[in-house]
């Protein structure tokens, strides 16, 4: 399947950038905390899945938007755990939090625009 290259679809591009950034950081997490590593990756993939699903769906359900926002919150929670365990630095966590917040705002705006139309 061809990669989606639409530069106008900024939320997808930012989500992909987030996943690649997080993926590089998760390499430093030891095997004993593999659960959190896997959960963060799963949440990231679910965000991408739901964004693509909403974009391709003719009938947009608020459940998908809720799933995106829930996964963003879960990633934040799991990152907090990794910071407490000193697997990632606080500054790295803050950089990810900024990216998550940006995606969160874009998703909420997208949801509001869909409700209006």
pLDDT tens digits, 54-94: 988 888 788 999 999 999 999 999 999 999 999 999 999 99
Establish if 2 belongs to a structural domain: no
Residue 16 CB-density burial (10 A; 0-12 exposed, 13-18 middle, 19+ buried): middle
- Which domain CATH number covers 92? 1.20.1440.60
Which residue matches tokens 């990794």? 82
The pLDDT, as a whole number, for residue 1 is 40
Per-residue pLDDT tens for 6-32? 555 899 999 999 999 999 999 989 999
107 CB neighbour count, 10 Å cutoff: 22
Assigned token pair, 91: 């500054």
Establish if 5 belongs to a structural domain: no
Give the Cα separation of 40 and 113 in Å (integer). 28
Domain count, the chain: 1
Question: Is residue 61 classed as helix, strand or coil in its secondary structure?
Answer: coil
Establish if 1 belongs to a structural domain: no
Full residue range of the structural domain in which residue 46 is found: 10-116
Assigned token pair, 71: 């996964």
Establish if 78 belongs to a structural domain: yes
- Report the predicted TM-score, pTM, of the whole model to 2 decimal places: 0.88
Per-residue pLDDT tens for 32-57? 989 999 999 999 999 999 999 998 88
């Amino acid at each position: 399947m061809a990669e989606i290259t639409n530069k106008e679809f900024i939320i997808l591009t930012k989500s992909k950038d987030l996943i690649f950034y997080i993926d590089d950081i998760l390499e430093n997490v030891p095997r004993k905390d593999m659960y959190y590593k896997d959960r963060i990756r799963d949440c990231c993939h679910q965000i991408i899945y739901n964004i693509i699903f909403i974009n391709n769906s003719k009938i947009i359900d608020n459940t998908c938007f809720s799933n995106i926002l829930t996964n963003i919150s879960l990633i934040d929670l799991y990152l907090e755990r990794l910071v407490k365990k000193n697997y990632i630095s606080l500054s790295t966590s803050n950089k990810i939090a900024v990216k998550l917040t940006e995606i969160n705002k874009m998703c909420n705006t997208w949801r509001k625009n869909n409700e209006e139309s």
